[in-house]
Structure 1
Amino acid sequence: MPTTVLVEGESDRVAVETLAGAAGLDLAGAAVHVVAMGGATSIVHHLLVGPDERVLGLCDEAEAPGILRALDRAGVGAGAGGLAERGFQVCRADLEDELIRALGPGAVLAVVEAQGELTSFRRLQHQPALRDRPLVHQLRRFLAGRSGHKITYARLLVEALPPGATPEPLARLLADL
């Protein structure tokens, strides 16, 4: 059965595809198409799938109520309960937060350093708006701060995950595939 996996953005798509590849899943061969919606509110445009197509997804916690309403309106998994019962997994804050917690800030800093961007991160840490913030918040800001950073680091952070350290929402999504 063809499967569409709806994710909020390109970094989410890259993370899911990278993780699937690392797990040995051939998404194309399994007729799985991962779609970056361009934001959670665009879900209504992506729920027009064929009757024999399965829809799964990944979203941020803040977007979960809107996703659930959109699924209800579209009749996707009607009566099945919450998002998890309908194949939609929820990241606590966002995907980057899940990856930072799974790896730990030290490992994320090692990935940043390997990319030659530790000096840039240290400069960001000293900005007045961030200097008193927790390291995890600073890392999330760094990952989202430059165009393309979230996409690049989604792949790098997933590749850095040790065996068994896959964040729960991603692990459940892969299990559903």
Structure 2
Amino acid sequence: MDEVRRFRPALIAWAAGGAGADEAAAAARELAGGLRTVVLVEGGSDQVALEALATRHGRDLGAEGVAVVPLGGATSIGRFLDVCGPAGLGLPLAGLCDIGEERHFRRHLERVGLGSGLTPAALETLGFHVCVADLEDELIRALGAEGVCQVIEAQGELRPFLTFQGQPAQRDRPVEHQLRRFMGTHSGRKALYAQALVAHLDLDRVPRPLERLLAYV
């Protein structure tokens, strides 16, 4: 697990380039031997959700040599594939993205030689899974609006959510849309609810992309 914790920031610094990239690359190469798979996800909330779901299944991804690495945005996928894909570290890869960002993942996977003319089914075969809209949307549909509101109340945020619902821009929108927007209003709130919603999921209703990704790794 310590190797995974050290590998993640080294890989991120290497992919970012600039000052210190050479040292980060050396550290990532040294630590890569202890890894089994690198999972590339768009952001920190995706990482939190996958690791929380693994915990519910009695798994510790870090201890298994699985490094879940947030890209800081889907457009960074190319740089990460360059450093940990076939021309870089050559590590087994998997990933998760929103449907709106699928084109970035598909284009760069093809560019680095991990397929051609990739269809959604072919992406899944490679271990890359796509959320309909985004992960928050997947989790809200899995739990239902009432279930999500119960989680919000348990987090002590029901009053802020009701205030948010009353805003002119939100009043006429479906509650599912309001919930999704609410989770993105404050820094750290997406990660907070990624963990909380996964904790309350019925394991028979796990969103397909998350379930398939965990099964793959």
Q: Please classify the TM superposition score into its range, dividing by the shorter chain length.
A: over 0.9
- Determine the structure 2 residue equivalent to 1:60: 98
Select the structure with the greater relative contact order (CA < 8 A; seq sep ≥ 6). 1
Give the aligned residue type for 1:30: E
In structure 2, distance between residues paired with 1:143 and 1:79 = 35
Q: Which runs of 5+ in 1 are unaligned?
A: none
TM-score under structure 2 length normalisation: 0.78
1:125-149 CA-partner distances (Å, limit 9, x unpaired): 1111110000000000110111110
In structure 2, distance between residues paired with 1:146 and 1:110 = 19
Shift of 1:29: 2.5
Shift of 1:74: 1.2
In structure 1, distance between residues paired with 2:72 and 2:60 = 24
Larger gyration radius, structure 1 or structure 2: 2
Structure 1's consecutive aligned runs of 4 or more residues displaced over 6 angstroms after TM superposition are none
1:102-142 CA-partner distances (Å, limit 9, x unpaired): 00000100000111111110111111111000000000011
In structure 2, distance between residues paired with 1:29 and 1:116 = 33
Aligned pair in 2 of structure 1 residues 80, 132: CA closer, same or farther (>3 Å)? closer
SS at the partner of 2:79? helix
- Report the RMSD for the aligned CA atoms in angstroms: 1.4
Shift of 1:80: 6.4
Larger relative helix fraction:
2
- The counterpart of 2:142, out of the listed 102, 109, 122, is 102
- The counterpart of 1:75, out of the listed 113, 134, 137, is 113
Q: Which runs of 5+ in 2 are unaligned?
A: 1-34
TM-score under structure 1 length normalisation: 0.95
In structure 1, distance between residues paired with 2:201 and 2:193 = 12
SS at the partner of 2:93? strand
How many aligned residue pairs are there?
A: 176
- The counterpart of 2:160, out of the listed 96, 113, 120, is 120
